[in-house]
Structure 1
Amino acid sequence: MQETITAQATPAGEGALAVIRISGTGALAVADKIFHGTHRPSSVEERKVILGRIVGNNQEVIDEVLLTVFHNPRSYTGEDLVEISGHGGAVVTSRVLAATLAAGARMARPGEFTERAFLNGKLDLTQAEAVMDLISAQTPRAAHAAVLQLEGRLGSEIRMLREELLECVAHLEAFIDFPEEGIDPESGAVLLNRMEGIAAHIDRLLVTATEGILLRDGITIALCGAPNAGKSSLMNRLLGVERSIVNAAPGTTRDTIEASASLGGYPFRIIDTAGLRETADPIEREGVQRARKAAEDADLRIHLVDASTMKTTVQPLFEDELLIINKMDLVDGSADLPPPPLSQESLLISCKTGEGIGELVEKILRRVTSRSESEATLHGASISSRHRDCLERAMTALREAIRLLAAGEPPELLAVELRSSLAAVGQIVGDAGPEEILGKIFSSFCIGK
């Protein structure tokens, strides 16, 4: 019998309401001890809301609340579950929570409610992960992708993939039972065709890794260049607000300034850095060092150059940088600018007038997603880095099975590789997940979820 757990499901601090959750076989008994109203929680029809008071050990009234009962298995966790909605003060909420603990519940671990939902078959592991993805989504696009995964889109893809692998294993079992016959050419061709089809299915899922990881983790852009190249102005343009101080005096920005932005529906962290130049000023020198470190750690580096001061071909600051020529509003339209390095394309913009900013956003999206905003589509299934690792292991084992079949090796050897591939795929939805993997996933959740 699992212990009865409790936690605050709403954020800590003051608010209009606070919700305390209790789940487990003793949830109703705990509620009966602390709730006084016209009905005992254990006798209430499920999903019915009742009004009453929470009392402490000395029968002192702690709060007037609304209480809702959910009977197993028709609850979030698949267990008996009680939700207490009270006033959202920090003190009163902590006292209600303390009353549930004194009545026999224990404090839930981070993610334990969702972990129980997974263990009780209410969610597969991809759906459980989607709960946290939805909570932590930084853009509407990321939230939408999390909802699709919560609905089971990715889980359905993975179960389909597992069925395809199981069919291959079952096909092999017949040859393992009759080893003297071996795998005839016709059956081998059918099996090879099936395995190649599975490999193509895995490839289609792996393609979504960039999208999925970007939506979950976002990407960091460092704005780099000489002093007064317009880095702060570009940051303000991308954010749509005046976040960085803009001044004609070189060296205005002396430390890195960071802010979050949504570009094309994807979460980005934009870093405005100090101008890169040699300087005797110890404070500015420290800013330059921090700027270089931020740029090296960033996922994408944008090198800004002042068009009005360009005299020679621009020298790259970093490998794989995006070269942007700014302040085109200060340049005569008939003037010839020095060409960019042969290895780079450049984009002409003006942070002052907004010229080229839309094209810059498109170029950034192409660089990080391999497509433009107009081409981007919301996949029904976008995998995470954990899913990608599982699928890559599954693909390695599957490719080895294909190699063994082509070499005419015994079916037992093929079956070993196919079962390894099947186990790796199963870990995605939690059908074959080691305990430490599950612990790592749910420990990242907030308490009460």
Structure 2
Amino acid sequence: MIDWVDPWRGTADHGGPVTPSESHTPTIAAVATAPGVGAVSLIRVSGPQAVAIADRVTGGRASRAEPRQAVRCRILDAAGATLDDGLMTVFRGPRSFTGEDAVEFAGHGGMLVTREVLSRFLACGAIPAGPGEFTQRAFFNGKLDLTQAEGVMDLISAQTSLALRAAREQMEGTIGRRTIEARDEILGVLAHVEAYIDFPDEDIDPDTGRALCDRLDRVSAAIDRLLATADQGRILREGVRTVIFGEPNVGKSSLLNRLLGYERAIVSEIAGTTRDTIEETVNLGGIPLRLIDTAGVRQAGDRIEEEGIRRTVRQIESADLLLEVADAGLPRPLLRPADVPEDTRHLLILNKADLGEHADWSGIEAVRISCQLDQGFDRLEAVIREALHLGSGEWGDHAVAINARHQACLARARQSLAAASAFLEPPADTELAAIDLREALDALGEVVGRVDTEDLLGVIFSSFCIGK
């Protein structure tokens, strides 16, 4: 196992959490509510001096307060004048979110008063918290594993009910628990292998080798089940890149506006009105669709329109779902407006169906709609759900969805396990098998933060908002 050192604490024991020295751990403070004017703002303070600093700010109220009980108090400036009047809650470590002593003050939500109260905490000894630093301390102090810490950010950024559900499962430790179970099973196999290494005169007999391989196969199957959720995780977190394309004046912008429920794009009979891509997100049955309206594809009339068409082609190449829009009343084009990648989900939508349909479209599989009369959109939604496999059978029972970092770690572990299994086949090479098993352990350890690097932690927690 790799030992590592974080910027403000001692060396970890086998990659696990350690308790920092109070003299070397600063006390941090930040506004934990969203910026702007609101009814209430929350200021969070955490660290070994949190209560002492809160005493200076409140005239000694913090040290006398019962832990985990909100009490009314005033925030005082250096001259003893009142800056704000609100509720303070003291959390004594380790029974706090961060595992340290922490204080939260809920006051009035004005921008100026909030800034002055935070400045008072900073003047009394706290330092400004960085992005995600409270959650990072919770991780370092063993309150969360790394997957749970990432689940905090997923919960904050969730745009749909399914994304929210997956984030809750991750915060409850589902991914971490399954990863640790797989890791423990590998540790058992490694113990057997290393026992044979310690006694070189003993060879692994075929029955023992098969039994060990069977155990690794079960671990590999569990990892495969987690890897199978990677695409779902990407869709839940990033949304389905849904590109609306077609010739000019077929109703692409009208379709975008109807799906959004408001007038986002300019609709005009003048061809070439849309010169650039327009992107908005809509919730479809718990899945975010990132709708991208593109410029109509035709022979460009000027350089600006030509650039818009080039951008349309790039969007089509990177799409998860393509909605090709055509005018039902016009003849079917001999060629598509743009090439469609073979492996991309693609739906044909015939707009203006209320005005009649040209004979060329007879028997063609498509969704018939009318943006003008708001017809056919229930059918369109059902077809999109079917194309994305959004039925309850495929999504309703899946509350776990790994992210790209988990996927990379699990894929490495899976590859190492396959190599270890090969080395356990007769004639077994126990030393090479042990090397691959340790690599699998390290890869799984990275998922939950058992072994990690400072750079990786910095990347993960820098995506958090300040105050979380």
Name the CA distance, whole Å, in 2 between partners of 1:170 and 1:300.
48
- 1:331 equivalent to 2:351? Answer no
Q: What is the match of residue 30 of structure 2?
A: 7
2:58 and 2:73 in contact (8 A); partners too? yes
After TM superposition, the structure 1 = structure 2 runs for residues 4-43 of structure 1, keeping only pairs within 5 Å, are 4-36=27-59, 40-43=61-64
2:328 and 2:357 in contact (8 A); partners too? no
Q: What is the match of residue 195 of structure 1?
A: 216
Name the CA distance, whole Å, in 1 between partners of 2:332 and 2:54.
77
- 1:361 equivalent to 2:381? Answer yes
- 1:397 equivalent to 2:416? Answer yes
Q: What is the match of residue 434 of structure 1?
A: 453
Q: What is the match of residue 445 of structure 1?
A: 464
Post-superposition shift, 1:355? 5.1
Q: What is the match of residue 351 of structure 1?
A: 371
Of the structure 1 ranges 257-266 and 349-358, higher mean CA displacement relative to structure 2 is found in 349-358
Post-superposition shift, 1:283? 4.5
Post-superposition shift, 1:329? 2.7
Query: SS in structure 2 opposite 1:309?
Result: coil
Query: SS in structure 2 opposite 1:445?
Result: coil
Pick aligned residue for 1:142 from 158, 163, 171: 163
Q: Give a deviation string over 1:39-87, Cα, whole Å, max 9, x none.
A: 6211221012221211122223211121110111111101110001111
1:182 and 1:410 in contact (8 A); partners too? no
Q: What is the match of residue 66 of structure 2?
A: 45
Name the CA distance, whole Å, in 1 between partners of 2:453 and 2:459.
10
Of the structure 1 ranges 176-185 and 402-411, higher mean CA displacement relative to structure 2 is found in 402-411
Equivalent AA in structure 2 for residue 149 of structure 1: Q
Pick aligned residue for 2:273 from 248, 252, 255: 252
Pick aligned residue for 1:156 from 177, 191, 202: 177
Query: SS in structure 1 opposite 2:121?
Result: helix
1:145 and 1:378 in contact (8 A); partners too? no
Unaligned runs of 5+ in 2: 1-21
Post-superposition shift, 1:378? 4.2
Q: What is the match of residue 147 of structure 2?
A: 126
- 1:226 equivalent to 2:247? Answer yes
Query: SS in structure 1 opposite 2:396?
Result: coil
1:34 and 1:54 in contact (8 A); partners too? yes
1:66 and 1:86 in contact (8 A); partners too? yes
Distance of aligned partners of 1:376 and 1:310 in 2 relative to their CA distance in 1, 3 Å threshold? farther
Query: SS in structure 2 opposite 1:101?
Result: helix
Q: What is the match of residue 387 of structure 1?
A: 406
- 1:410 equivalent to 2:432? Answer no
Name the CA distance, whole Å, in 1 between partners of 2:150 and 2:245.
36
1:126 and 1:428 in contact (8 A); partners too? yes
Post-superposition shift, 1:250? 3.1
2:129 and 2:466 in contact (8 A); partners too? yes
Name the CA distance, whole Å, in 2 between partners of 1:214 and 1:25.
41
Matched residue count: 441
Post-superposition shift, 1:177? 2.0
2:40 and 2:108 in contact (8 A); partners too? yes
Name the CA distance, whole Å, in 2 between partners of 1:167 and 1:358.
54
Q: Give a deviation string over 1:385-436, Cα, whole Å, max 9, x none.
A: 1100000000111111112122523211101101100110111111112221
Equivalent AA in structure 1 for residue 356 of structure 2: V
TM-score, scaled relative to structure 1: 0.92
Post-superposition shift, 1:348? 4.1
Equivalent AA in structure 1 for residue 32 of structure 2: A
Equivalent AA in structure 1 for residue 328 of structure 2: A
Name the CA distance, whole Å, in 2 between partners of 1:224 and 1:138.
25
Name the CA distance, whole Å, in 1 between partners of 2:308 and 2:223.
46
Name the CA distance, whole Å, in 2 between partners of 1:77 and 1:415.
37
Name the CA distance, whole Å, in 1 between partners of 2:362 and 2:331.
7
Name the CA distance, whole Å, in 2 between partners of 1:374 and 1:196.
26
Q: What is the match of residue 82 of structure 2?
A: 61
Of the structure 1 ranges 428-437 and 375-384, higher mean CA displacement relative to structure 2 is found in 375-384
Equivalent AA in structure 1 for residue 46 of structure 2: S
Query: SS in structure 2 opposite 1:376?
Result: helix
Query: SS in structure 1 opposite 2:253?
Result: helix
Equivalent AA in structure 1 for residue 381 of structure 2: V
Q: Give a deviation string over 1:358-395, Cα, whole Å, max 9, x none.
A: 44434444544x55466422423210011000000001
Equivalent AA in structure 2 for residue 433 of structure 1: D
Name the CA distance, whole Å, in 1 between partners of 2:313 and 2:392.
29
Post-superposition shift, 1:349? 3.9
1:9 and 1:19 in contact (8 A); partners too? yes
Name the CA distance, whole Å, in 2 between partners of 1:298 and 1:192.
41
Q: What is the match of residue 101 of structure 2?
A: 80
Name the CA distance, whole Å, in 2 between partners of 1:203 and 1:413.
23
- 1:110 equivalent to 2:121? Answer no
Name the CA distance, whole Å, in 1 between partners of 2:178 and 2:149.
16
Post-superposition shift, 1:331? 2.9
Q: What is the match of residue 11 of structure 2?
A: none
Pick aligned residue for 1:317 from 338, 357, 363: 338
Q: Give a deviation string over 1:12-51, Cα, whole Å, max 9, x none.
A: 2211111111111110100111103xx6211221012221
Unaligned runs of 5+ in 1: none
1:324 and 1:349 in contact (8 A); partners too? no
Equivalent AA in structure 2 for residue 109 of structure 1: G
Name the CA distance, whole Å, in 2 between partners of 1:88 and 1:173.
61
Name the CA distance, whole Å, in 1 between partners of 2:57 and 2:109.
18
2:332 and 2:360 in contact (8 A); partners too? no
Of the structure 1 ranges 122-131 and 319-328, higher mean CA displacement relative to structure 2 is found in 319-328
Name the CA distance, whole Å, in 1 between partners of 2:154 and 2:202.
51
Distance of aligned partners of 1:365 and 1:168 in 2 relative to their CA distance in 1, 3 Å threshold? farther
